Amino acid sequence: MRLRLCAAALLVAACLTTACETDFDVAGNWKETIIAYGLLDVSQPKQYIRLNKAFLGEDINANAVAQIADSAALIEPVTAVLEVYNDANYNSLSTTYPLAKIDAMQEGIVKDDGTFYTSPYYLYTTAQALSSSKWYNLKVTTGKGTEISARTSVIGDFPITRPSADNGLNLSDSTFLLRWKHHPESAFYDGDIILKFAELRTDASQAIKKTVRVNVFTNWEPIGVQANEIIRFDVNVRDFFAAMLRDFGTEAANDPNVIRRDLEYIDVAIHAGNKELQTFNSVASAQLGITASQNLLSYTNIEGGLGLFASRYSKLITDLPVEVVSYEPLSCSPEGKQLKFTLHPNDVRYPFACD
């Protein structure tokens, strides 16, 4: 999901990088530092936690050390559990789920290429179902006796009420409507409209079904919204067209082989993140401006270690209709013209009629 997870990945890299300078003096005895990263997601069948250790490398290039698996991987036995509590004060323990160590690549999870080793790629996982009415504590003990822990609430399901099967996407006004119910554990939201269309090309014998995800808002905070209240978010249509052209990308927008694109359906995705994830995003974003200090701050909610333990939830409704009145403003907008979106097939002017 989105929710600035690229930034979350940068946290792990930043933590490791700050622990592997090549020119320094060790002032004290070596201490094992554990880095944990996990985003609990009630909507997913499995939960994955990444556990690593920071490392020191003297008289050797840090990039070279990063390519050695046991420099950052926890080779010794690790006891990792997810404790489930009935209350937000973590006084009433309900049950404990052990986390099993797996080679993620054997489950089809491939780590992006980069400075650090890519294989083996170990994760810790459980297939136990999570509940939004519970609170969770990650507890890890390494073979060297190092202990870390971290707590988080989790976000549960919430309905999207607009667009719907009865009220599809309407681009005929200056704004179109997004409506969903606010989950009390969500501190911010991202929103996407996924366009589903048939692309007719000169280099293909028949139309190709394609999708493009258009991000319509990011890091939106429900300030003043009460738990379970319907959130009313109006998206500016002109801004949506501009975002559509941006997210198609230059290559797709200028592809000379495209004859036309016929919009068929849309999906709507609302992504929610809890307070811990919001705080991390805020700290990470503060480091990106031209006024940022060279001494980078980093947010961690891992007691005894470094990293991030938080919660997210993505709500998706699929194959929603596009109102007939939407096709002309889409097709006739400067962005729609460039992308060669058509009028509605029942329009006598189909496929194009805009000069």
pLDDT confidence bin for 30, thresholds 50/70/90: low
pLDDT confidence bin for 346, thresholds 50/70/90: very high
Q: What is the pLDDT of residue 108?
A: 75
Tell me the DSSP string of 221-270.
--TTPPTTPEEEEEEEHHHHHHHHHHHH-HHHHT-TTEEEEEEEEEEEEE
Distance CA 13, CA 17 (A): 6
- Percent of the chain having pLDDT more than 70? 79
Distance CA 81, CA 141 (A): 9
pLDDT confidence bin for 333, thresholds 50/70/90: very high
Summary mean pLDDT of the chain: 85
Average confidence (pLDDT) over 336-354? 95
Average confidence (pLDDT) over 307-336? 97
Q: What is the pLDDT of residue 287?
A: 52
Buried b (16+ CB within 10 A) or exposed e, 221-259: ebeeeeeeeebebebebeebbebbbebbeeeebebeebe
Q: What is the pLDDT of residue 62?
A: 42
Q: What is the pLDDT of residue 47?
A: 96
Where is pLDDT greater, at 156 or 108?
156
Q: What is the pLDDT of residue 275?
A: 95
pLDDT tens digits, one per residue of 86-118? 999 999 999 999 999 998 887 777 755 544 445
pLDDT tens digits, one per residue of 263-303? 999 999 999 999 999 999 888 765 544 444 444 447 899 99
Query: Using the 8-state DSSP alphabet, how is residue 30 labeled?
Result: -
pLDDT confidence bin for 119, thresholds 50/70/90: low
pLDDT tens digits, one per residue of 226-274? 999 999 999 999 999 999 999 999 999 999 999 999 999 999 999 999 9
Tell me the DSSP string of 280-319.
HHHHHHTTSSTT--SS-------BTSEEEEEEEEEEEEEE
> Does position 6 have pLDDT exceeding 60, yes or no?
no
Q: Evaluate whether 130 touches 157 at the Cβ level (below 8 Å).
A: no
Q: What is the pLDDT of residue 201?
A: 98
Where is pLDDT greater, at 4 or 141?
141
Cis check for the bond before 329: say yes or no (omega within 30 of 0). no
Query: Using the 8-state DSSP alphabet, how is residue 169 labeled?
Result: B
Q: What is the pLDDT of residue 54?
A: 76
CB atoms within 10 A of CB 320: 21
CA nearest neighbour of 195 among 318, 102, 72: 318
> Does position 317 have pLDDT exceeding 50, yes or no?
yes
SS3 12: helix
What is the token pair recorded at 101? 């160590």
Q: Evaluate whether 176 touches 266 at the Cβ level (below 8 Å).
A: no
Q: What is the pLDDT of residue 195?
A: 98
Where is pLDDT greater, at 74 or 153?
153
Q: Give this prediction's pTM.
A: 0.83
Q: Which range has the top average pLDDT, 12-21, 85-94, 346-355? A: 85-94
pLDDT confidence bin for 64, thresholds 50/70/90: very low
Q: What is the pLDDT of residue 31?
A: 74
- Percent of the chain having pLDDT more than 90? 71
Distance CA 341, CA 262 (A): 6
Where is pLDDT greater, at 116 or 319?
319
> Does position 157 have pLDDT exceeding 90, yes or no?
yes
Tell me the DSSP string of 36-91.
EEEEE-TTSS-EEEEEEE----SSS-HHHHHTSHHHHS--S--EEEEEEESSTTS-
Distance CA 190, CA 314 (A): 9
